[in-house]
Amino acid sequence: MPIYNAPITALDKTEVLRYAGFRGETPFPNALLEEACTEALTLTKPQGIWNIYKYDAATHMILSQPSFCLASNNLTHHLEKAIEIAIMTITIGSELETKASASFTDGNYTLGLLLDAAGTAAVETAADALNKLITTVSAKRGLKTLWRFSPGYGDWNITNQPQILKLSDGHLAGVSVTSTCMLLPRKSVTAVIGLVPAEKELSATQQQNNNSNCQICQKQNCIARKEPNK
C-alpha cells in the first residue's frame, strides 16, 4: 500500500486535556493550551501504511506468509465474523516528542505535559483518519469495518507488537519497535481492523466506536479512559 500522509489540521482540545490527565477546570491559562496545540500541528508529520490479509476466524489465523495466530480471547471474539483483516501503522514522527522533552528539560513542565498530550491526541486523530480511509476503501469491496484493536488492549499481549508492525510494513512509515515492544517514534500506533461482509449483522460492541477499546481494557484507573457515553 502507498504511504498515507494526510496532514492534521485541528486537534480536539478536550481530548488533549484528557490525555494530560485533566477533566473539567484546569489550573493554567487557556493560552498555554492553545500554544501547545499550535506547536503540535506545526510539528506533526503523519505517515501511515496498511496491508490487508485473509483471516480464518475458526482458527484465529491471519493468512499471511507465514501465517500468524491471534492469541487473545477479546480480539478473536471481536473478529468472529471477519473474513479479512487490515493491519495498520501510523506515526506523527519524533519532532513533537523532542520539543516536549526539551520543555521538560528547560523546566517548562506544564508546556511539556501539554505538548506530550497533544502528541497523543494527534496520533489518535491520524489513526482515526487512516481508519476512515480503510473503511472507505473496504466499503467499495462490499466489506464493513470493525473498530480497531491494538496490541496491549484487553488480553492481547503487547509482545505481539513486533509481528503486527511487520505485517503492516510499518518500517516503511519510519516506525520500529524496541526489545520491550515500545514503538519508535513513541507517538505511533499499530492496530488490526476486522473486515466483515456488508450483509453480516454486527453486535453493538463490534460496531465502530471511539471508546469501545476502553470498555474492554482492565486499567480502570487510566487517566485517559473514555467514558461509555463519550
**Which contacts qualify for 206-211: CB closer than 8 Å, 24 or more apart?**
206/78, 206/81, 206/146, 206/147, 207/146, 207/147, 208/131, 208/135, 208/145, 208/146, 208/147, 209/147, 210/128, 210/147
> What is the CATH number assigned to the segment(s) 13-198?
3.40.109.40
pLDDT the model gives residue 58: 97
Adjacent-strand bridge partners of 4 = 48
Predicted confidence pLDDT, tens digits, the chain (230 residues) = 779 998 899 999 999 999 999 887 788 889 999 999 999 999 999 999 999 999 999 999 999 999 999 999 999 999 999 999 999 999 999 999 999 999 999 999 999 999 999 999 999 999 999 999 999 999 999 999 999 999 999 999 999 999 999 999 999 999 999 999 999 999 999 999 999 999 877 765 656 554 455 555 555 555 444 555 44
Cell numbers that stand for 155 in this block: 488480553
pLDDT the model gives residue 217: 56
Closest CA to 49 of 212, 229, 170: 170
Adjacent-strand bridge partners of 133 = none
Cβ contact 55:5 at 8 Å: no
Domain assignments of the chain as residue spans, ordered by start: 13-198
> What 3-state class would DSSP assign to 106?
coil
pLDDT the model gives residue 25: 78
